[in-house]
Amino acid sequence: MDTPTPHSSPPLRAWQVWLGGIASLILTVGMARFAYTPMLPVMQAEAGLSITAGGWLATLNYVGYMLGALLVARIESPLWRHRLYSAGLWLAVLGTAGMALSDHVIWWALIRFLGGISGAAGMLLGTGLVLNWLMKSGKRAELGAHFMGVGLGIVVSALAAAWFQTHAWTWGGRWWGFGLIAALCAVVAWRWRPPVPDAPAAQQQRATPPRPWLWLMLAAYFCAGVGFVVSATFTVAIIEAVPNLTGFGAWAWLICGLAATPSVYLWDRVARRFGELPALIAAYTCQISSVALPALSDHWLAALCAAALFGGTAIGIVSMTLAFVGKRAPQNPGKAMAQLTLGYGAAQIAGPALTAYAVDATGSYHGALWMTSAILVVGILCLSRLQRAYFQAAPTTPR
């Protein structure tokens, strides 16, 4: 068994752990993953990327994410979890700036795949390290502040995309700009990484969330993954496809990020007050509205509300779900999160490609949006069954 190496530097303070974790999510999710959303219409217009190829590039990013989750689910060693998280930070820089190195779709596919692996490092290993540090330090085991990094990643990617558009940067120059932001975030995340966790006792290493409720959580999280990936990949493209909203996509993406940044903290408060599962059901319900609105109306107000509702719910769902399962496997929360994320990852692999084919076949995003809404309703049914069968409605987090 690996033993953690001693740190010569003084112990980290809470604000340093939070800031390092937030920077890691801006990097591995905001840049290596979400920067693709405002770049998709630009690459379609300037680099000859088709709608179908764009969907497949998003799918390959999620394939990398899912394979990363499979790897994380098998790692028991605290030292190796820490090492792979550290490597993932720099892989995210490559997964962002590397898009500018070629205009060949095969190269883009490889880079998006590597970016997906780095996303698993940031979302699962990094989040697991932060949650472990919180629990070992006697802090409240909530991830809302940490997951503000996802919303900020959307905000940063949207502001950068708008700035690049204003200054008429080429598609390649824009990816270099995103790569520079990624490198700056990597320095902060590397400097304030949580320390290597203590090695758990042998009988504790196999601790995982209890079954059979895990299967219901997997099914519910799969449904959330479909809702997330369709909106996250195509929000800008959907808005840009509306004639009177051309040029507005990057700003809608900004609204999405601005709504996401405080929402994760607010969802923590809702979960603390009403319970985690009722809070998740409420978040799924709001996300259905965010998906259905663009199918109901092409009005700019509907687009704004949809972006705000998506941002205000999607990251909250991820934060509450990962905290929910991670607290039930305190010795290795990253592994438990990775197991649950496999369902989410499967949805993210299928969602973009299926959506792209549906758009090619119908000439509209409406059919895909209604299908996504129906899948989210199934997720609510899974959570309701889970609550009735296995959990009290009372809050599970200490006040």
Give DSSP secondary structure letters for 102-139. ---HHHHHHHHHHHHHHHHIIIIIIHHHHHHHHHHTT-
Q: What is the pLDDT along the chain (399 residues), one digit of tens a residue?
A: 444 444 445 687 888 898 999 999 999 988 998 899 889 888 988 988 888 888 889 888 888 988 888 888 788 788 888 999 999 999 999 999 999 999 899 999 999 999 999 998 998 889 888 888 887 877 776 777 888 888 888 889 888 988 998 887 999 999 999 999 999 999 999 999 988 876 654 444 445 555 677 788 889 999 998 888 777 767 777 777 666 667 677 677 788 888 888 888 899 899 988 988 999 999 999 999 988 888 888 777 887 888 889 889 988 998 898 888 877 766 677 677 777 777 777 787 777 777 777 777 777 677 778 888 889 999 999 999 888 876 654 444 443
For the record, the structure tokens of 46 come out as 């300037």
Q: ∠ CA(174), CA(180), CA(182), 5° rounding? A: 105
Domain 14-194+208-390 fold: Growth Hormone; Chain: A; (1.20.1250)
Q: What is the pLDDT of residue 7?
A: 45
How is residue 281 written in tokens? 């059901």
Tokens 């599970």 identify what position? Answer: 396
- pLDDT of amino acid 74: 82
- Residue 343's pLDDT is 78
Determine the distance from the C-alpha atom of residue 377 to the mean position of all C-alpha atoms in its chain, rounded to a whole number. Answer: 21
pLDDT for the residue numbered 394? 44
Give the global pTM: 0.75
Beta strands in the chain (DSSP E): none
Torsion 375-329-86-180 (CA) sign: positive
- Parse the chain into domains and list their residue ranges: 14-194+208-390
Contact by Cβ (8 Å): 40, 238: no
pLDDT score for 210? 57
What does the pLDDT read at residue 150? 84
With 0-12 / 13-18 / 19 or more C-beta atoms within 10 angstroms meaning exposed / middle / buried, residue 165 is middle
Rounded to an integer, what distance in angstroms lies between the CA atom of residue 247 and that of residue 49? 18
Buried b (16+ CB within 10 A) or exposed e, 317-353: bbbbbbbbbbbbbbbbbbbbbbbbbbbbbbbbbbbbb
CA distance linking residue 178 with residue 165, whole number of Å? 13
